[in-house]
Structure 1
Amino acid sequence: MRLPVVVPLLLVLLAACSRSPQPAAPASAPATPAASKVPTSAPSAARPALQVTTLDGAAYDLAQQRGKWVIVNYWATWCGPCLKEMPELSALAAMRQHIAVIGLAYEDTSESDLRAFLAKRPVAYPVARVDVYSPPKDFGAPRGLPTTWLIRPDGAVARKYTGPVTARMLEEDIAAFGGPKAG
């Protein structure tokens, strides 16, 4: 098959046709996949509001989490990457006093089905079911799952991630934004 040879050749020809040379990235600069970290100033507000009722019937208000780093995570039971990151998010919630996590189940299913699912895959953080037709105003509908927001202790958005996250990514970003470093 000649396609693997043709594509690079076309790319070289197209690059040669550019008006001015583009500076190359330094060889030591790590590549950051666009799907994993997307800096943002806010979903739709400088300090987004989030008030939901969790599956255990408790009221959850993002504003009451001031002083902590908060991880707001959209997920679904059918989303493989979502399920893979849940244990790490759960560990962060359980082991780091300066971090709070809220899971937002973004799917058209009943609360009893979600409770049954979480009985088999428990997490150490609260979970609320989000209406896919009317998601929280300041966070809106995710463009993909999982989608996660890192909220600073002052309530402002530090970063939005589209795609899976790891505990290491989150802790590195918390440290980069002035929070405590993982020990």
Structure 2
Amino acid sequence: MIIASGALRRLAALGLLTLAACAPAGDQPAAPAAPAAPVAQTPATPAVAPTPPPAAKPEMPTLVVDTFTHGKFDLATQRGHWVVVNFWATWCTPCLKEIPDLDAFDLERDDVSVIGLAYEEIERADMEAFLEEHVIHYPIAVLDVYNPPADFDTPRGLPMTYLIAPDGKVAKKFLGPITSQEITRAMDEYGKVLPAST
């Protein structure tokens, strides 16, 4: 490729101008550095306190809710037998699949009670219509999603189930769908860690 000498001179001049623009103005020596200004000490504690970890949930949770078909449900009155606290929703397919098994488990076992806590925004009439279409014998309550029961974790996914032991303590927390066999295994495991009665 041949570049005309005029074009080559213009290119060289442009390059020199670019370099000149980047060079410091004049050949003046740099001024001596001024003494550093005093720096304020950083406080030992940050200005904004870190967010504290969430408070631990109580060993024996409380739960008092109004249900659609069984009146008021109070977890404290259930001492002496197992309670399955199932967080669910009408739109949750895995929740709907586990309901028949939980319902049969509740009916078959005298030492077990199940309560369903619908964790969703739903009108009372819509829940009543749902309960007319689906056979559920255990009590169902609708929770306020903005003010869920404080003694239980806020569901981050559904279903979520707690197994409460006869002593009122949380025996196990399940995330995701469960079966009555899994609940029975958890009951057996919890029984193995209980101190022997004297």
Cα deviation digits, residues 142-172 of structure 1 (max 9, x gap): 1110000000000000000110000110011
- The one-letter amino acid of 1:136's match is P
Displacement of 1:177 in angstroms is 1.4
- The structure having more radius of gyration, on CA atoms, is 2
Structure 2 distance, partners of 1:139, 1:162, is 13
CA RMSD of aligned residues (A): 1.3
Q: How far 1:57 moved relative to its partner?
A: 6.4
In the alignment, the residues of structure 1 paired with residue 128 and residue 104 of structure 2 have an alpha-carbon distance, to the nearest angstrom, of: 20
1:67 is matched with 80
Matches within 5 A, 1:32-51: 44-51=57-64
The counterpart of 1:116, out of the listed 110, 124, 129, is 129
Q: What fraction of aligned residue pairs are identical, expressed as a percent?
A: 49
Deviations 1:31-55 (A, max 9, x none): xxxxxxxxxxxx7111000000001
Is the counterpart of residue 162 in structure 1 residue 175 in structure 2?
Answer: yes
> What do the CA deviations read for 1:121-160 (whole angstroms, capped 9, x no partner)?
1211000000001101111421110000000000000000
1:53 aligns with 2:103: no
Normalising by structure 2, what TM-score?
A: 0.67
Aligned length: 137
**Residue number among 158, 162, 169 corresponding to 1:145 in the alignment:** 158
Q: Distance in 2 between matches of 1:83 and 1:62?
A: 23
Question: CA, structure 1 residues 111+140, in 2 after alignment: closer, same or farther (shift >3 Å)?
Answer: farther
The gaps in structure 1 that reach 5 residues or longer are 1-42
How far apart are residue 119 of structure 1 and its match? 1.0
Deviation of the 1:173 alpha carbon: 1.1
What's the TM-score once normalised by structure 1's chain length?
A: 0.72
The runs of at least 4 consecutive aligned structure 1 residues that moved more than 3 Å come to none
2:138 aligned partner: 125
- 3-state DSSP of counterpart to 1:142: coil
SS of residue in 2 equivalent to 1:74: strand
- In 1: Cα distance, 2:165 partner to 2:130 partner: 30
Paired amino acid for 2:157? G
Matched with 1:100 is: 113
- For residues 57 and 88 of structure 1, the distance between their equivalents in structure 2, rounded to whole angstroms, comes to 20
